[in-house]
Chains A and B, each alone.
Chain A
């Protein structure tokens, strides 16, 4: 089955800095890679996703890049704000069974 590795487990930045979270996957058949933000006491919220026929996707301060050859994809957040503080999860899979990374706790210091 699919194996998704996510790094780092914790990321601490100053407000206004950029943050990058990286994930690797093992199944070359994987074709959809969503990113979720989970705030304390809430369910994960989809923030951006990318499909395997696209190399990059951007939505305001958030962007995702995908390298199919290397089997890795990354989340980029620019101009971070304190409200960006949360746990971020990547996910991927080539079947109906999605696999999530273990999460990155992003802390943005004012």
Chain B
């Protein structure tokens, strides 16, 4: 079992650009959540996808959007990048929602906006 895989592992973008991050959930999991983790902070919930729909959303602007595919993999898109978007972006997969079952995290994508 490969666990949760994220790509790419590192990324450098320029202010104003757009970025797409990818996540493949753990085998058997159907729910994907995305988090932003700034240096020295805990993960902040961005949104969760289940059955190809955004089920819940945290306090993030519309510049952050996502998608879930029929195979349960997911993408996180961020438009009009700001310097403050620099962070570790984490994907977590679970079965039918985070709080009812264990959530497994990927290793993250380190995004640097310059």
Interface residues of A (CB under 8 A from B): 6, 31-32, 34, 36, 41-46, 49, 89, 91, 93-103
Selected contact of B99 from candidates A42, A44, A98, CB within 8 Å: A98
Produce 1/0 per residue, B93-108, CB < 8 A to A. 0000111101111111
Contact between B41 and A102, CB atoms less than 8 A apart = yes
Instruction: Give the size range of B's interface with the partner.
Output: 20 to 34
Check A43/B105 contact, CB under 8 A, given A89-B42, A95-B56.
yes
CA–CA, A41 to B4, complex, Å? 15
Contact between A34 and B43, CB atoms less than 8 A apart = no
Residue of B6, B33, B98 with most chain A CB atoms under a 10 A cut-off:
B98
Task: Give the residues in chain A near B6, CB-CB below 8 Å.
Answer: 43
Q: Report A53 CB to chain B, min CB distance, Å.
A: 13
Contact between A43 and B108, CB atoms less than 8 A apart = yes
Selected contact of B107 from candidates A36, A43, A89, A102, CB within 8 Å: A43
Contact between B102 and A34, CB atoms less than 8 A apart = yes
CA–CA, A32 to B99, complex, Å? 6
Interface residues of B (CB under 8 A from A): 4, 6, 33, 40-45, 48, 55-56, 58, 90, 97-100, 102-108
A selection of 23 A-B contacts at a CB cut-off of 8 Å is A6-B42, A41-B107, A42-B108, A43-B4, A43-B6, A43-B90, A43-B105, A43-B107, A43-B108, A44-B43, A46-B102, A46-B103, A46-B105, A95-B56, A95-B99, A96-B56, A96-B98, A97-B45, A97-B48, A98-B33, A100-B42, A100-B44, A101-B42
* Chain A residue with Cβ nearest B108: A43
Known: A41-B107, A98-B45. 8 other contacts (CB 8 A): A32-B99, A36-B105, A42-B108, A44-B90, A45-B105, A46-B103, A96-B97, A99-B45
